[in-house]
Amino acid sequence: MADVNEFNLSNHLTALGNKYFQDFSENVQTSIMSKILKEEGHSNNVYDLDDLEWWPTDEDMKKKCPEETQDPTKIAAIKQFLKDFSGNDSTISKDLKEILDNTEFTIAIRPKEQQPTPNGGAVFKKGNNNEKNKAVLMVSEVLFEKENSDILPGLLAHEMGHFIDFYNRPQKDDVKLKYMDGAETFADTMGVMIAKNAGYNCDSWAKFLQTASEKGLNPPHTHSGTHRAKTIYECSNAYDTTNKKSKEKTLSKKTDIEKIQQLRGISSSEKTPYKPQTITTNPNTLHLYQSKKQNG
Ligand SMILES: [Zn+2]
């Protein structure tokens, strides 16, 4: 499979990192990328495409996610998160919106009997030129239980991180149809950017990964949940630092404008710049909106 070998996943992820971490200092960018590209406890070939699996068949998916277990309230709650993630002015949010608008996807809740611990999964098949992309987003039902609901925003943002990865791959079947690779840490960091720009955070997701790892229960394709948690916190701190700096910049700029306006006797009518807010979420009480017809 020549096409697979031509695609270099590390270079691909680095290019995306350069785009979405561009506001971070060079040192921080380098540090985060090195953690993404070399997962603890694994050799350098963690991103070997030969390790990847293929897009599952419809039959496989149906077995995993029986339609009769789909709860419209939970589906609507998930859709609301995706709407928030793709509804702000950040570059990553705009890019995510473009992806979601061009994707037919199925959201599937995996029943507790099948999946007793919090888990998620994303499969993404990029469409050819004029076709829509296809995706399945799986979320375990237990994530809607009170003690797990804090994990949900981070987990969903992580899955959107996978969408960003897959959407940006070359349009070659050998590459675009391979999924669930070792790029989990990458998806985590994209998740941080996606969540934080929408006013959420991934702290509970990180804590979950770390706790599971310490119990010897690493999530699939994860070699160290602790390594992933550390990377999430580092990215999160970098986001806060950068955001604080840009806020200070905006403020001092505004002060200058105000001074000039005062001198000229003009009152300020500036719009408040977008500022992410920390939101406490309870998926059960989220505002529901008219859900679009589900595909598949
Ligand atoms: Zn993942």
Distance, CA 280 to ligand 1 centroid (Å)? 24
Distance 248 CA to ligand 1 centre (A): 35
pLDDT of residue 255: 63
Separation of 190 CA from ligand 1 center, angstroms? 11
Q: How far is Cα of residue 105 from the mean position of the Cα atoms in its chain?
A: 16
Q: Helix 26-37 crosses helix 184-197 at what angle (to 10 degrees)?
A: 140
Residue 270 gets the label, from left (phi > 0), alpha (psi -120 to 50) or beta, of: beta
Indicate the SS3 state at residue 67. Answer: helix
Q: 52: CA distance to ligand 1 center in Å?
A: 13
Question: Which pLDDT belongs to residue 275?
Answer: 44
Q: How far is the CA of 187 from the centre of ligand 1 (A)?
A: 6
The β-bridge partners of 179 are: 53
| CA 69 to centroid of ligand 1, rounded, Å | 23
CA 115 to ligand 1 center in whole angstroms: 16
Distance 274 CA to ligand 1 centre (A): 29
Please say whether the beta carbons of 153 and 206 come within 8 A.
no
Q: 143: which residues sit within 8 A by CB, 6+ positions away? A: 118, 120, 149, 151, 152, 155, 283
* The residue count for the chain: 296
Total-model pTM: 0.80
Q: CA 204 to CA 158: how far, in whole Å?
A: 12
Ligand 1: distance of its center to the CA of 261 in Å? 50
- Return the sign of the alpha-carbon dihedral for residues 277, 35, 155, 126: positive
Give residue 56's pLDDT: 67
Cβ atoms of 166 and 136 within 8 Å: the answer is no
User: What string of pLDDT tens digits covers the 296 residues of the chain?
Assistant: 444 456 788 888 999 999 999 999 999 999 999 998 877 766 655 566 666 666 666 677 667 666 656 788 999 999 999 999 999 999 999 999 999 999 998 888 888 888 888 988 888 888 887 889 888 888 999 999 999 999 999 999 999 999 999 899 887 776 666 665 668 899 999 999 999 999 999 999 999 999 999 998 877 777 789 999 999 999 999 999 998 877 777 767 666 666 656 555 554 444 344 444 444 444 443 333 333 333 33
Please name every residue paired with 134 in a beta bridge, in sequence order, or none if there are none: 104, 125
Tokens representing 270 are 């500036």
Tell me, what's the pLDDT at 114?
83
Tokens of 16: 């995306």
Distance from residue 212's CA to the centre of ligand 1 (Å)? 15
Report CA(223)–ligand 1 centroid distance (Å). Answer: 12
3-state helix, strand, coil in the chain (%, to 5): 55, 10, 35
Q: How far apart are CA 266 and CA 118, in angstroms?
A: 55
- Judged on CB neighbours under 10 Å (0-12, 13-18, 19+), 129 is exposed
pLDDT for the residue 259: 62
